[in-house]
Amino acid sequence: MTAGAEAECVDLLVVGAAEVLTCGGTDAGPARGPAQADVGAVRDGAVAIHGGQIVEVGARARLERAYGRHARRIVDARGGVVLPGFVDAHTHLVFAGDRAAEWEARMAGVPYLELLARGGGIRSTVRATRAASLETLLLHARRWLSRAVEHGTTTLEAKSGYGLERATELRLLRVIEALRTEVPIELVSTFLGAHVVPDEHRERRDGYLELLEELHVEIARTGLAEYVDVFCEQEAFTVDEAERLLRHAAGLGFGLKLHAEQFTASGAAALGARLGAVSIDHLEHASEASCRALGAAARPPVAVLLPGVAFHLGEERHAPGRALVDAGVPVAIATDFNPGSSFTPSIPACIALGARTLGLSVAECIVAATRNAAHAVGRGADRGSLVRGRRADVLVCDVPDHRWLGYSFGWNPVRTVIAGGRVVRDRASAGDTRPAPG
Ligand code: NIG
Ligand code: FE
């Protein structure tokens, strides 16, 4: 089909948007520096979709002329904002139990790493998860995944990491695999066996590293995960251990991710860059000097920032979002959905938090949760922007302009979710999105 051709048949035409945000940019890579703020807004725009892909984005009048009479379905955005589906590039989707009591202790002043050192934190979720069947885990993950989709997530990365033993880690990856066949969105799976060293290996850490290497081999053979991640932190894994595990995983063909410098400036971010990780995540304690060093690389990894964590844990220190963007590091925003450090499946909530705590504009946060987040899971060529030929993952939000996605918070602005060209969620509009005349 030729862009702009007269009266062509399309599956779906989205019209009536105050703004369509293409988040497209001018080159194929992630947005860096000033490009991070370029949402590619088309005023009074429309989107034509066919065969699961974007056919054209442009002025409403022109697209209505070209496709209006032959569109199988028309979605009226009613003065809202249309943008690419969100890519949640960092979640711990599959687990059992909850940590409400620990969260209350944290709010009363007990540090996160102290809860972990006392045998709580990740370790308490591991105990609950080991005891849960595949069916229980599936039911629970399905429920949270559905909430994520309601909030506009159309691609979601999900990590294992609450098993820390062969059988349970594989069970978690199988839950992700099973969900993949039932949901309309795409799941990207990551093996995070290196979340913490489990109690039974505490006296012999090396034995656990060896087990993880064996699991890398098994998971590479079965194709149960695409990425390998390591939590590099006090109480978890050292920089040297992370390097050993990531090099081993890279040798087997895995893409690499790294939980880096969440509580300690350890040098893990530089390690991730040196090993060619697709993303380095967290970075709350990364120094401005290390941001500049990351930005100097020809192709730095995507920095996946998780503003829900500082909010959820009541931490005062936030990731240096402004310094990263100014240094030329592509920044993504994700939820880090998990029961301990960020219990939200909502990307809109994280955009609102990011715009308040990371030193980024709303436009930069939107590009972070779409185009750059797609690159953070190796899907940048295929989604994350509304560009001809990309997968048609499209949202309609009940807000009058894109700044409202950060400005207004605490409710779900996503009305319609289109994934792979199909409308998968469509709730009644709350009405006219224009502000009341003042
Ligand atoms: O990304 N930092 C390590 N992992 C998670 C927390 C997991 C948990 O507390 O259960 C995170 O914040
Ligand atoms: Fe995490």
In which order are the strands placed within the sheet that holds 186-194?
86-88, 153-159, 186-194, 227-232, 255-260, 279-282, 302-305, 331-333
Beta strand pairing call for 41-43 and 227-232: unpaired
Please compute the mean of the pLDDT values over residues 29-56 and round it to a whole number: 97
Give the domains, in start order, of the chain with CATH numbers. Answer: 3-84+384-430 (2.30.40.10), 87-376 (3.20.20.140)
Residue nearest to atom 3 of ligand 1 (CA): 231
Residue 259 CA to ligand 2 center (angstroms) comes to 6
Please compute the mean of the pLDDT values over residues 406-423 and round it to a whole number: 97
**Whole-angstrom Cα distance, residue 221 to residue 8?**
45
Residue 262 CA to ligand 1 center (angstroms) comes to 9
Residue nearest to atom 12 of ligand 1 (CA): 341
Model confidence band, residue 353 (pLDDT cutoffs 50, 70, 90): very high
Beta strand pairing call for 186-194 and 53-59: unpaired
Please compute the mean of the pLDDT values over residues 134-140 and round it to a whole number: 98
Question: Looking at per-residue confidence, does 185 or 7 come out higher?
Answer: 185
Beta strand pairing call for 71-76 and 53-59: unpaired
Residue nearest to atom 6 of ligand 1 (CA): 341
* Token couple for 354: 């990011």
Neighbours of 39 (CB within 10 A): 29
Reported pTM: 0.96
* Token couple for 420: 């792979």
Residue 21 CA to ligand 1 center (angstroms) comes to 32
189 lines ligand 1 (CB under 6 A): no
Burial 327-356 (b: 16+ CB within 10 A, else e): bbbbbbbbbbbbbbbbbbbbbbbbbbbbbe
Model confidence band, residue 5 (pLDDT cutoffs 50, 70, 90): very low
**Whole-angstrom Cα distance, residue 299 to residue 259?**
19
> Bridge-partner residues for 337, per DSSP?
91
Query: Which atom number of ligand 1 is nearest to the Cα of residue 233?
Result: 2
Angle at 334 between CA 221 and CA 256, to 5 degrees: 30
Angle at 381 between CA 334 and CA 183, to 5 degrees: 60
Residue 374 clears pLDDT 90, i.e. is over it: yes
Model confidence band, residue 1 (pLDDT cutoffs 50, 70, 90): very low
Query: Which atom number of ligand 1 is nearest to the Cα of residue 90?
Result: 1
Which of 259, 280, 313 most suits a substitution to test ligand 1, by most atoms within 8 Å of the C-beta? 259
Taking alpha carbons only, the member of 284, 260, 348, 303 closest to residue 33 is 303
Q: Which ligand is nearest to the CA of 308?
A: 1
* Token couple for 96: 């059992």
Give pLDDT tens digits for 305-335.
999 999 999 999 999 999 999 999 999 999 9
Model confidence band, residue 45 (pLDDT cutoffs 50, 70, 90): very high
Please state, for a pLDDT cut of 70, what percent of the chain lies above it: 97
Residue 438 CA to ligand 1 center (angstroms) comes to 45
Reduce the secondary structure of the chain to three states and give it as a string. Answer: CCCCCCCCCEEEEEECCCEEECCCCCCCCCCCHHHHHCCCEEECEEEEEECCEEEEEEEHHHHHHHHHHHEEEEEECCCCEEEECEEECCECCCCCCCCHHHHHHHHCCCCHHHHHHCCCCHHHHHHHHHCCCHHHHHHHHHHHHHHHHHCCEEEEEEECCCCCCHHHHHHHHHHHHHHHHHCCCEEEEEEEEECCCCHHHCCCHHHHHHHHHHHHHHHHHHCCCCEEEEEECCCCECHHHHHHHHHHHHHCCCEEEEEECCCCCCCHHHHHHHCCCCEEEECCCCCHHHHHHHHCCCCCCEEEECHHHHHHHCCCCCCCHHHHHHCCCCEEECCCEECCCECCCCHHHHHHHHHHHCCCCHHHHHHHHCHHHHHHCCCCCCCCCCCCCCECCEEEECCCCCCHHHHCCCCCCEEEEEECCEEEEECCCCCCCCCCCC
Please compute the mean of the pLDDT values over residues 254-271 and round it to a whole number: 97
Which amino acid, one-letter code, is at 220? A
Residue 432 clears pLDDT 90, i.e. is over it: no
User: In the predicted model, what is the mean pLDDT of the chain?
Assistant: 95
* pLDDT given at position 42: 98
